[in-house]
Amino acid sequence: MTEPSATDRLPDLDPDRAAELLERGEAVLIDVREPQEWAAGHAPQAEHLPLGRLTPDAVPQDRPVIAVCRSGNRSGKAADALAAAGVRVHNLAGGMAAWARAGLPVVTDDGTPGTVA
């Protein structure tokens, strides 16, 4: 048996394509950042699941997952691990930094504007 690789996961998505899939309900966004990063700001439709608690059983299986972190590095590792376990998963290229640069919303838990930490 061969070792899993990034090729086992779905293609990375740019923020606009990810937002399109999320808006249509065709994917779920999982934010793998630490609690303080999440608290500073996240995508409104994201679910928070820090990387240290991420398991294949913890993510929805009914549609593809889009993993996101601040820059795309940690979420890339998360996507590789999930893909190796058979989860259909994309990485958000450039992470929340790219999401914010694309003009997409970043909010805090109470819905007020947030920042990418």
Q: Which amino acids are annotated catalytic?
A: 69
Please say whether the dihedral angle defined by the alpha carbons of residues 53, 58, 61 and 63, taken in this order, is positive or negative: negative
For the chain, the first-to-last Cα distance in angstroms comes to 39
User: Which residue in this structure is represented by tokens 């793998």?
Assistant: 32
Taking alpha carbons only, the member of 101, 83, 102, 107 closest to residue 31 is 107
Contact criterion met (CB below 8 Å) for 36 and 117? yes
Write out the two tokens for 27: 């994917």
